[in-house]
Chains A and B, each alone.
Chain A
Amino acid sequence: MTTVPLCVNFECDFVLQLVPVESDFTMDQVAEAAAHHSLNRRVKPQPGRTLRVRLQDGESPFDRESTVEQAGFQVMETIEVYYE
């Protein structure tokens, strides 16, 4: 297990942020780690909706269960976290 720092673009926020995740994190855990730095800070949460993860410009999100390693994220990969 290694730490993978990511460049996170969180929906409706104004800035890209550095978010370190672990290589065995699922996409749900990645979204949660990202949300910690945006939701309730500068972005209002949307209860009942699910956060998904995709690459910047990616057409579809990664499976919620797939891990950082399976997704093949490089160090400082730019990802978008958004409500489905």
Chain B
Amino acid sequence: MALLNRSDWYDIARDTNWTPKYVTEEELFPKEMSDCFDVPREKWETYDEPYKTSYREYVKVQREKDAGAYSVKAALGRMKFLDSADPGWKSILKLHYGGIALQEYAAGMAEATMARFGRAPGMRNMATFGLLDETRHGQIQLYFPHEYVSKDRQFDWAHKAMHSNDWAAIATRHAFADIMSGRDATSVALMLTFAFETAFTNMQFLGLAADAAEVGDVTFSNLISSIQTDEARHAQIGTPALKILIENGHKEGAQKLVDIAFWRNWRLFSVVTGPSMDYYTPLAKREKSFKEFMIEWIVGQFERNILDIGLDVPWYWDTFLEDLNTTHHGMHLGVWYWRPTVWWDPAAGASPDERDWLEEKYPGWNDTYGKCWDVIIDNIKNGREDLTLPETLPIVCNMNHLPIVGVPGKKWDVRDHYLDYKGRRYHFGSKVDRWVFEQDPDRYAGHQGLIDRFLAGKIQPANLEGALKYMGLQPEDCGKDAHDYAWVWNYNKPDKVAV
């Protein structure tokens, strides 16, 4: 029997709007769950998703994608890539899986919010596939690291991290709750699919795939490229929603949500992807610097997307561009210094050759971040590892929940962008984080960051040991220098003296 072309039946089949008889329209689609902008239903009916697929087509393609990724894994599994992989690369895998796998399930719930409460039939349809996508991403990114658990228990954090009170988990949950689980369907379309998925997932899933291919980790490269093909599809949910909001006089409100989501994701990427690309990836295998990737994907592509659709670049765009030179270096230094508090082994990436590369990519690195590394290097050479380990906690930002960092050394520029609100002082890592808080203070005010919890006596004993226990880290889980300080001894070569 001949099948109709999809275009012959698609519009009718996916038009699942009807007039409710037993409940009101408002009860069926409460504003808080559906659309904080309250755009009328008939306006939403103009929503036209750019990517159309049927369930039959979807399943066929997804099945092939899965078969591809799993068969590469099966074929290469016996080659024991991981045994010979650079420790820095292993850390990228641990960081990636722990930070992302379970958030894929959370993203599935956000897709489900759009699938049920989205005001446009097309949005609900696409989000149903998005929900299936994210379920796949969660499953596959738990399955792949699982085989390593017996060899290296830090891989267990692929599943464990998001259930813990590790600072990195608190930061990730807080950011994603703000753009996914804590928002209505329309806001999710803007903040998750538009701001996060069209901008940042490219970085993690294509930028990192390029590095993975260079390193020879074909399994991982394949896996994350496969995931990105789904992201590229369901990321398109946001654009037609934005169009409708702008047409109906909500440009300002939509802009604000995009600005908030973009910043929150940027900060998260500065601690996850920045160190991965500029410090953990072995020098010879680095495709581009983090900043170069960011400029290509974010400034080159996302900026154009924003302008094309009729929004403006975020008000803090200059701050963001300046941040590309600095923030992730501070985040990296913080993660390395507080390494017992993470479930991966941070690679210092500060050997003489690596410093030359950093200085070339980020002029002035040696006079700033390099100054801190100089002291660290001397301490390790002098047998004072104790001085390279923390005895207190960094102050974490009350918005992004990452350490409040700035530029050290000759261009010392570190600031607390604090705000007093209803008798409590909140500390922020940047004026933009503070701005996000000020947009809806009561939304964020009740949350306790790690330092707040420490001061409230929730972490016992009240020292670093108690903090590690609170974060769920056993001694074998705690991060250590990925290369056991081997990089320090390169400084003994006479032609390479630390400057």
Contact = CB atoms under 8 A, between A and B. Distances in A.
A41 B388 CA distance: 6
Question: Which of A5, A13, A16, A43 has the most chain B CB atoms closer than 10 A to its own CB?
Answer: A16
Contacts of B387: 40-41
A40 B378 CA distance: 9
A7 B408 contact: no
B427 A13 contact: no
A74 B424 CA distance: 11
Interface string A7-27: 101011111111100000000
B36 to A, nearest CB: 33
Interface stretch (B70-78, B90-98, B232-240, B398-406): B398-406
A76 B409 CA distance: 24
A72 B320 CA distance: 36
A70 interface: no
B392 A14 contact: no
B416 A16 contact: yes
B99 interface: no
Interface in A37-84: 37, 40-44, 56, 74-76, 78
Contacts of B425: 74-76
Chain A binding surface SS class: loop
Interface in B431-461: 451, 454-455
A15 B415 contact: no
B334 A7 contact: no
Interface stretch (B54-62, B81-89, B117-125, B366-374): B366-374
B405 A14 contact: yes
B375 A15 contact: no
Contacts, number: 96
A42 B333 CA distance: 10
B369 A14 contact: yes
Max chain B Cβ within 10 angstroms of own Cβ: one of A14, A17, A37, A42: A14
A61 B415 CA distance: 17
Contacts of B455: 5, 75-76
B392 A7 contact: no
A14 B388 contact: no
Contact of A42 (B408, B416, B418): B408
Q: Among the interface residues A5, A36, A74, A75, which one has the most CB atoms of the partner chain B within 10 A?
A: A5
Contact of A40 (B334, B369, B375, B418): B375
Q: B333, B372, B388, B403 — which one has the most chain A CB atoms within 10 A of its CB?
A: B372
A11 B408 CA distance: 8
Given A14-B405, A16-B404, A76-B425, A42 B392 contact: no
Given A5-B455, A14-B330, A17-B395, A42 B406 contact: no
Nearest to B406: A14
Contacts of A12: 371, 408-410, 412
B416 A17 contact: no
Contacts of A44: 371, 374-375
B372 A14 contact: yes
Nearest to B394: A15
B405 A15 contact: yes
Contacts of A75: 425, 455
Contacts of A40: 375, 379, 387
B283 interface: no
B414 A14 contact: yes
B391 interface: yes
A16 B392 contact: no
Contacts of B451: 18, 76
A13 B408 contact: yes
Contacts of B376: 41-42
A76 B372 contact: no
Nearest to B326: A14
A14 B408 contact: yes
B391 A7 contact: no
B395 A16 contact: yes
Interface of A: 5, 7, 9, 11-19, 36-37, 40-44, 56, 74-76, 78
Given A14-B334, A15-B395, A78-B416, 5 more contacts: A14-B405, A15-B330, A15-B394, A37-B390, A42-B372
26 contacts: A9-B414, A12-B409, A12-B410, A13-B408, A14-B406, A14-B407, A14-B408, A15-B330, A15-B406, A16-B394, A16-B403, A16-B404, A16-B405, A17-B392, A17-B394, A18-B454, A41-B337, A41-B375, A42-B372, A43-B372, A43-B375, A44-B371, A44-B374, A76-B427, A76-B455, A78-B418
